[in-house]
Amino acid sequence: MPDKTVKAVITDWGGVLTSPLNDAVGAWLAADRIDADRYRTVMRAWVKQAYDGAGTNPIHGLEDGSLATEEFERLLAAELLTVDGGPVAAAGLISRMFGAFSPVEPMYEALRAARAHGTRTALLSNSWGNDYPRDVFADLFDAVVISCEVGLRKPDERIFHHALGLLGLDAAECVFIDDIEHNVRAAESLGIRGIHHTSADATIAELRELDLLP
C-alpha cells in the first residue's frame, strides 16, 4: 500500500540531479591528461578521511566552507601530475572537474511532479565550489541547503536537522535521496527514510511507491 506519511523529498544534487560524478571526473582526467591512478589514490585517501571522521582534510574544508575553493584547487593540483609527469593547473580546476555534469531531466521532472502533487521538496548538497543552476531552484524547492553556506556537511546530523527545520517537518515525514550510501545511512539513523540513488528509473519508482508522484 502507498505510504502517505511521507510529506517531503530531500535530495542531493551532484550524481542525483546531475549525470554521475565518475563520468564527469573521467572526462576531466582525459581532457587535462591527468594521471588517473594518481588522482584516484589521492582522492580515495581524502574521501576516506572525510567520511570516517579521522581528523580533517581539504574535503571537509571545501564542503563546510572553511577552505576557499582556490586553496582546495591549489592543494589538489599539488598532489597531481599529468600523464607526462608535468604539473596540473590549479586555477579553474573545480570548474574543469565538473564541466561534464549535465542535468538528469527525469529527476527534475519527478521533483516538479511531486511538488505539484503536494509534496514539499528540499535540496541538501555538499558543495565542491560548484556552479549550481540556481535559476531553476525557486520552481523546484521549498528549501535549499548548500553545505558551504551553512558551515555544515553531510553526514553531520546537524545539517539534516537544519533541512528538517526549514521544511517544518519531522524526520519520519521525509525521504532523503543521495548517491553516497554513507549519507543515506546517516539520514536513516535520524529516522528519515533513505533512497540510495543508483539510477533515475529506480529512484522514481521508489518515489511512486511512496505515493509521492501522481
Query: How many CB atoms neighbour CB 68 within 10 A?
Result: 13
Please tell me the class of the 21-98 domain: mainly alpha
pLDDT > 90: what percent of the chain? Answer: 87
Q: What cell was used for 104?
A: 538528469
* Cβ–Cβ under 8 Å, residues 107 and 97: no
Spatial distance between the Cα atoms of 169 and 177, rounded to a whole number of angstroms = 16
Residue 130 neighbours by CB under 8 Å, 6+ apart: 13, 14, 94, 98, 101
HSE, CB side, 13 Å, CA atoms: give it for residue 133.
14
DSSP code at position 121:
E
Spatial distance between the Cα atoms of 97 and 116, rounded to a whole number of angstroms = 34
Domain 8-18+103-210 falls under CATH 3.10.20.30: no
pLDDT digits (tens, 9 = 90+) for 93-139: 999 999 999 999 999 999 999 999 999 999 999 999 888 999 999 89
Q: Does position 56 have pLDDT exceeding 90, yes or no?
A: no
Bridge-based pairing of strands 143-146 and 120-125 is: parallel
pLDDT > 70: what percent of the chain? Answer: 96
pLDDT confidence of 1, banded at 50, 70, 90? Answer: very low
pLDDT confidence of 60, banded at 50, 70, 90? Answer: confident
pLDDT digits (tens, 9 = 90+) for 148-206: 999 999 999 999 999 999 999 999 999 999 999 999 999 999 999 999 999 999 999 99
Sorted by where each begins, the domain ranges of the chain are 8-18+103-210, 21-98
Q: Does position 3 have pLDDT exceeding 90, yes or no?
A: no
Q: Does position 51 have pLDDT exceeding 80, yes or no?
A: no
CA angle 16, 175, 6 (to 5 degrees): 140
pLDDT confidence of 48, banded at 50, 70, 90? Answer: confident
Q: Does position 41 have pLDDT exceeding 80, yes or no?
A: yes
Three-state SS for 7? coil
Question: What average pLDDT does the chain have?
Answer: 93
Residue 1 vs residue 113, higher pLDDT: 113
Mean pLDDT of 70-94: 96
Q: What cell was used for 192?
A: 528519515
